[in-house]
Amino acid sequence: MKINYYQLSIRQLNELLKTKAITPDQLTKLVYKRLTQFKKLNAIVTSLEQYAIKQTKLITEEEINNNLLAAIPFVTKDNIATINILTTGSSKILANFIPNYDSTVNKLLTNKQAINIAKTALDELGMGGDGLQAATGHVLNPWNLKHITGGSSSGSAALVAAGIVPFALGTDTGDSIRKPAAYCGIVGFKPTYGLISRNGVFPYAPSLDTVGIFTNHVEDIAIVLDTIALPDQQDFTSVESKEKDYTKNLDENIKAKNIAILNYNDYQWNDTVKSSFDEAIKHLTDGGAKIYQIDFDKQLLQSLLPVYMIISFAEATSCHANLTGINFGIRKNGKTYQEVMTNSRTAGFGDMVKRRYIIGAYALSESHQEELFNKAKKVRQLIVEKLNAIFKKYDAFIVMPTINPAPTIKDVLEQKKVIKSEHDYLEDLLLLANLNGGPSITIPLTTFNGLPIGFSINGAPCNDQVVLNIAWFLSKRINFTNKLLGDEHE
């Protein structure tokens, strides 16, 4: 019997394993066969094939019968530490870094006998939004290789979209899971800040960094979340939510839910995308939810990107001060330790990272800290207060992660050569959930010109279940097909 495993959810794969229609070893081999077929995506930093095959042999029948994640393959973004396994952050300066410690999130999954099959490429150290900044080169969108995946969790998004694994780990500091999910036609979830431990995850901006999940099915988000959403004393930002059993509490009943949507009336967008958006909203009203169109202070929305940039770049400058090439990483020679640091960082960092460090250092400098960094934090607080007011009245807030499909790699590279006089703030709306720490999920909505576009649902901090339930409801009603999960690649 031919098994197209890549079309299946975690629960469906578990059923095949329980009935012995497929063995853990066979499933792992199928994963690596399909990974070879999609090698052109350039989504992998390190393959863990020998490790993965060894791990499958340790899985017992009892574990498969009582554990949905046993023998289920996944991939990990390469800024998440894996003990005794190369972890580079997709940066040249860490090209030889093998941690002697394990991230909490990887440990929780491997303890459940989930099989980590690869470390995935990202925009260097999480700094980038296009998937073009990894030391290993551009990560390509599996829907169309001429287009970007989005970033920074580009490799993880590409491999889930291609059906190679049913779930993947990423990190989201400023839409780094949800924007790639929108561009790749998959589900991307950023939970409440602190819900998933960041212990062992390379920091970018600690006041924003969040570990999250990619899948093709909303239920799979809940299944993985049940394993990794645990308080951790090794993470000082870890929070314990009153919510438990996310999978058990998935519920399509959205009656009496009050849902706000951003007022897009004045925005000129494509008729195909707009009609798909309107249809999704109609599904919600048909399901008994009450929809309210609301305005959001335009000045605050226009400030989203600069506030995010100043805060995150400044925090990155501080967090990455240990990347000197002296204690670990790639070292370049010099006559003094200052020369060693300068030479190592000059050779080890890409242009995007260097640019962000310079801006961050400038924002933190004594003469500009009040004008830039402190002011950015004050504006962030205004944004948070506005969102708090919204979530006092509404159970969820819906925005579009983007109303355009993924741009071409060529266009993105050309745009980097010029400084724009204007910026479309509606492309930055996913930053809202980073700034207030609330849960946010992107699900596929439609396709335009053969490329996917997503739909984003946001909630108040620690209201992850509400967000998941609305996404669960919509995913069963939105008519979206991932063309990559057909048989043409077999």
Cis upstream peptide for 152 (omega within 30°): yes
Sheet bearing 211-215, strands edge to edge: 44-47, 115-120, 73-77, 167-171, 211-215, 187-190, 440-448, 451-458, 396-399, 258-262, 290-294
Of the CA atoms within 13 Å of residue 72, those in its CB half-sphere come to 29
Structure tokens at 32: 């690596």
The active-site residue, picked from 77, 107, 190, 257, is 77
- Assess contact for 246 and 189: CB atoms under 8 A: no
Residue with tokens 């239920």: 219
Among residues 266, 359, 286, 279, the alpha carbon closest in space to that of 317 is found at: 359
Is residue 152 part of the annotated active site? The answer reads yes
- Cα angle 187-402-266, degrees, rounded to a multiple of 5: 140
- The residue annotated as part of the active site, out of 9, 91, 103, 152, is 152
Tokens of 77: 């973004």
* Catalytic option among 91, 156, 176, 344: 176
Active site residue 77: yes
Q: What DSSP designation does 374 have?
A: I
Could you give the residue ranges of the DSSP H alpha helices within 59-166?
Answer: 61-66, 104-111, 154-161
Count of C-beta atoms within a 10 Å radius of residue 371 = 11
**What string of DSSP letters covers 278-335?**
HHHHHHHHHTT-EEEEE---HHHHHHHHHHHHHHHHHHHHHHGGG-SSSSSS-----S
Active site residue 176: yes
Report DSSP state, residue 203.
P
What residue type is assigned to position 163 of the chain? Answer: G
- Residues labelled as active-site residues: 77, 152, 176
